[in-house]
Structure 1
Amino acid sequence: MAGNFASGTPATLVRAGIVGTGYAAARRAEAIQADNRSQLITIAGHQPDRTTTFAQTYGVPAVQSWRDLVKRSDIDLVIICSANYEHGKIARAALEAGKHVVVEYPLALTAAEAAELIALAKQQNKLLHVEHIELLSGIHQSIKAALPGVGIPFYLRSASLMCQQPAPEKWSYHREQFGFPLVGAVSRIHRLTDLFGSVATVSCQTRFWDSAKATGYFSSCLCTAQLRFTSGLIAEVVYGKGEAIWYSDRTLTIQGDRGALTIDGEQGQLVTAEGTKTLTVGSRRGLFAKDTTQVLDHLTIGTPLYVSLNASLYALQVADAARRSAEVGEVVEVGE
């Protein structure tokens, strides 16, 4: 989708506006300003003082509302780095205004809304890209390269548990603003569907500890899901964070009929009959810049992106099946 940006002249720079003032927004701003094919125009946020200070860091003016940002005629690309619950409505408004859109995962808090946005982007002939930098990481690429060594995978356990004491009063600890745990953290699902394909059924349980300080917030959450892939692989996915978690755990173990693969943080091993091989997994740094570069490559010279909208939507559909399973207390078929 090279559009009108292919010539590379100053008149055809990709002019970007960013919604958000957090870590991801900062990395996006740096990447946009470091690339001679793009120009950062403005930044929108919720808190006027913070937004102004953040925008001054990058030498651009601030606007106090994302609604004002998406309407601007001098913006081609809207980059959404705000709270999860806002992603869908900002993406919709930007697409309706004729803008290209990059959004941090999840695209929306329901698979149905995500499907509507994908259809809208196609109708508008505009880029809609859902970031999933984990797929770009050295860890994920090392897993892909080493996976044939385990033979036929039959079981895996993926754990993402984070001790955080005290729990912050921010959107990522708010039920409605973060969303169902495996939707808000859909990357945990997306990594597995990227590696192992389609899921047949999901069984899920979840628990929240409500915050004693503020209504709507939680101090901890725990979500466990069992995914049965159509290949027969059984996967256990554990996600939790907050004050009730006393030991952080970021591990992935894959068992196959010829070996096992383990990842602990940024360390990895492949265990087979021939012995144990240490995996070089690389760093997580620079992934937002890499994602941004691929977006600009796509817009200027039409190169394909590393993740498709269909893949993003499918991961959300699996996460949505987990939500429904937790609500009804039954095994749910994906897509039913």
Structure 2
Amino acid sequence: MGLTPPILMGIVGTGYVAKRRVEAIASDDRATFAAIASASPERMRAIDPDCQATHYTDWQDLITHPGLHVVIVATRNQDHDTITRRALAAGKHVVCEYPLSFHPAVAAELLAIAAQQDRLLHIEHIELLGGLHLAMRDHCPALGTTHYARYVTLNPQTPHAGRWSYNHDQFGFPLVAALSRIHRLTDLFGTVATVSCQTRYWASDSPSEYTACLCMAQLTFHSGLLATVTYGKGDAFTYPMRVFELHGDRGTLLFDHDRGTLIQGAAQTSLDLGSRRGLFQQDTRAVVDSLCDGRPLYVQPSASLYALRVAAAAQQAARLGKTVAVETV
């Protein structure tokens, strides 16, 4: 694409991810934080107290910011595809937090539009850059044939009323919204044949919201691997868990929060997973590298789209109460 620095970047959103993006842009002298959009002026000032960027209360105005090269979509999940579509129509490159859309067909259409217009559409998957995933990728061969995987994430929280991440429409189906739980597995083990899934929600005073959710999916891969993915959050849980297990015929990999262990018979080897800090800096640097020098990104949008198809199949399986075949593309 051969853009010449500085690359002007605008951010839609003011949550945790948006804050990390502002820091990441500041760490790269080839990029400039040029604009931010939110319905809340207070939240924008909290992220950008010195107003180094232009503040917009409507994201549609941000897209027309003079000279803007990149729109970063870091707001509620429900709006990702709409903002991405409008940004591409305005000729902008787009960086979008996953999921690109709740619907695989819409996501595929957006990727086709970006390709036709020669615009970058990068779907962030920083989990692939982290020490846990790199350790799994490096040590999987030591397991021989991996036949079982278990991934559990439980996050105790007390959600306040109106929080978008506990809203059915705005957050979306749990495994679509938390797409990295699926993407880790498809990145390591390839394509999925069938999915079954069960979900439970704990109701709140508002019919559009909930106070906790639990989603459990069972994936059968074409390789023969069987995997279970459990994702839960909210006030129904009291103890946090982040556990990943891989079991093969020559060993086992166990990850519990930031501790990793390779087990082969009586031998146990501790694995250094490093820090999870700085991943948004790595992702942002990769985007700038791609825009300036044409370097390939660490993840292709087609891989994110495939993970979305698997997650959408899990949603269908939960709705129908039966095992669903994953679309082969």
Q: Common fold, TM-score beyond 0.5?
A: yes
CA distance in 2, matches of 1:179, 1:323: 10
Q: Look up the match of 1:194.
A: 187
Instruction: Name the SS of the counterpart of 1:261 in structure 2.
Output: strand
Deviation of the 1:57 alpha carbon: 4.3
Question: Which residue of 302, 306, 313 corresponds with 1:314?
Answer: 306
How does 1:1-336 map onto structure 2 within 5 Å?
A: 1-2=1-2, 4-5=3-4, 12-57=5-50, 59-166=52-159, 169-212=162-205, 214-273=206-265, 275-335=267-327
Over 3 Å counting, the alpha-carbon distance change for 1:278 and 1:28 in structure 2 is same
CA distance in 2, matches of 1:52, 1:68: 18
Deviations 1:309-334 (A, max 9, x none): 11010000000000000011111000
Q: Which amino acid letter does the alignment assign opposite residue 51 of structure 1?
A: M
Any conservation in 2 of the 1:271–1:277 contact (CA below 8 Å)?
yes
Over 3 Å counting, the alpha-carbon distance change for 1:297 and 1:321 in structure 2 is same
CA distance in 1, matches of 2:33, 2:306: 32
Q: TM-score, normalised by structure 2?
A: 0.97
Deviations 1:155-206 (A, max 9, x none): 1110011111355641111111000000000010001100111000000011
Q: Which amino acid letter does the alignment assign opposite residue 335 of structure 1?
A: E
CA distance in 2, matches of 1:72, 1:330: 48
Any conservation in 2 of the 1:167–1:242 contact (CA below 8 Å)?
no
Any conservation in 2 of the 1:138–1:281 contact (CA below 8 Å)?
yes
CA distance in 2, matches of 1:141, 1:309: 19
Any conservation in 1 of the 2:33–2:52 contact (CA below 8 Å)?
no
Deviations 1:192-225 (A, max 9, x none): 100111000000011111112x341110000000
Deviations 1:255-297 (A, max 9, x none): 1011110000010001012611111111110000110000000
Identical positions, percent: 49
Deviation of the 1:305 alpha carbon: 0.2
Q: Look up the match of 1:8.
A: none
CA distance in 2, matches of 1:321, 1:158: 18
CA distance in 2, matches of 1:196, 1:138: 18
Any conservation in 2 of the 1:220–1:244 contact (CA below 8 Å)?
yes
Instruction: Name the SS of the counterpart of 1:56 in structure 2.
Output: coil
Deviations 1:53-103 (A, max 9, x none): 433345222011111111223201001110111111000000010000001
Any conservation in 1 of the 2:27–2:281 contact (CA below 8 Å)?
no
Q: TM-score, normalised by structure 1?
A: 0.95
Any conservation in 2 of the 1:55–1:61 contact (CA below 8 Å)?
no
Q: Which range moved further: 58-67 or 215-224?
A: 58-67
Unaligned runs of 5+ in 1: 6-11
Question: RMSD of aligned C-alpha atoms?
Answer: 1.3
Any conservation in 1 of the 2:148–2:226 contact (CA below 8 Å)?
yes
